[in-house]
Amino acid sequence: MRGTQTAEESNIVEQGRTGKGEGVVAKGAGVRGRPRSEAVERAIIEGVIKLIEDGVPLAELSIERVARTAGVGKATIYRRWSGKEEMFVDVLRTLEEPPAELPGTSMRDDLVVLVEHIRRRGLTMRSSAILHNVFAQMKSLPKLWEAYHKTVIDPQRRISYEVLRRGVETGELRADVDIVLANELFVGPMLVRSVLRPDDPLDEDLPVRIVDLVLEGLRPAE
C-alpha cells in the first residue's frame, strides 16, 4: 500500500515542519516521531474532512478534488488507496471510536465491552455533525456503503460471533442458541437507542443492563 517516498511527499512533510505549508497540509503534517508517509496520508485524510466540512457532497468528492485540497498528486493517493471508497472508509475510521479491547475474562464481560463500544459510538455520532452527515449520505452510495460494511462492520460482527461461540464452549450460553440471532439480541437494543431514537439517553450502565437481561433467557438451565 505504501511505497518509496516521492519528492512531492517530502515537500509536503517539510512544509508541515517549517510552517510554510498552507491549510490542510500544515494541519495534518509535521507530527514529531511519525513516519513521513504517515504524515502525507494524514494530510490527505484531513483534506477529505475539510471538503466535507465545507459542505461538498460525498458523491462529488473525486480523487482529483481531494488531491488539489491536500496539495498532492493523484498518484500519491492511488499509492495508498485503490479508489475513493477505500479512502473514505479510512477517513471514517479516524473519526470513530477505536476498536474495543476485550478483557477475555468471560463471555458476559466481553459482551458488555462490545455493547459499550456501540454506546460510545452512538454518543460520538450524536456529537459529530460531520459523522452524522457522512452516514446519511453513505446510504445513497451503494459502493461506499458496501465497502464500509465489509471493512468495518463485518469484522466487528465476526468478533461478536466468536465471543458467543466461546460462551457455548464454556457453558455460559446454551448450545442450541442461534449465534447470529443471539448477537442481534445483544447489540440490537443499543443500536435502536443510538440510531433510531437519538433523543433517548445512553446511560453508562445501559450495556450491563442489556447484556444481563438477554443472558437471563439464553443461559443453560441450572
* pTM for the predicted model, two decimal places: 0.75
Instruction: Give the cell for residue 47.
Output: 483534506
Q: Give me the domain span that covers residue 158.
A: 107-218
Q: What is the CATH number of the domain that holds 192?
A: 1.10.357.10
Instruction: Give the cell for residue 185.
Output: 439480541
The answer on 59 and 20 residing in a single domain is: yes
For residue 175, give every residue at least 6 positions away whose Cβ sits within 8 Å of its Cβ, in sequence order, or none. 168, 220
The answer on 173 and 71 residing in a single domain is: no
In this prediction, residues 103-119 reach a mean pLDDT of 96
**Domain tally, the chain:** 2
In this prediction, residues 91-108 reach a mean pLDDT of 89
Please answer whether residues 68 and 24 qualify as being in contact, where contact means their C-beta atoms are separated by less than 8 angstroms.
no
The answer on 156 and 68 residing in a single domain is: no
Q: What are the Cα distances from residue 140, in Å, to 13, 99, 135?
A: 36, 26, 9
Task: Give percent of the chain with pLDDT exceeding 70.
Answer: 84
Q: What are the Cα distances from residue 110, in Å, to 8, 14, 24, 41, 184?
A: 46, 44, 39, 33, 15
Question: Quick check: 35 pLDDT over 50?
Answer: no
The answer on 201 and 125 residing in a single domain is: yes
The answer on 141 and 208 residing in a single domain is: yes
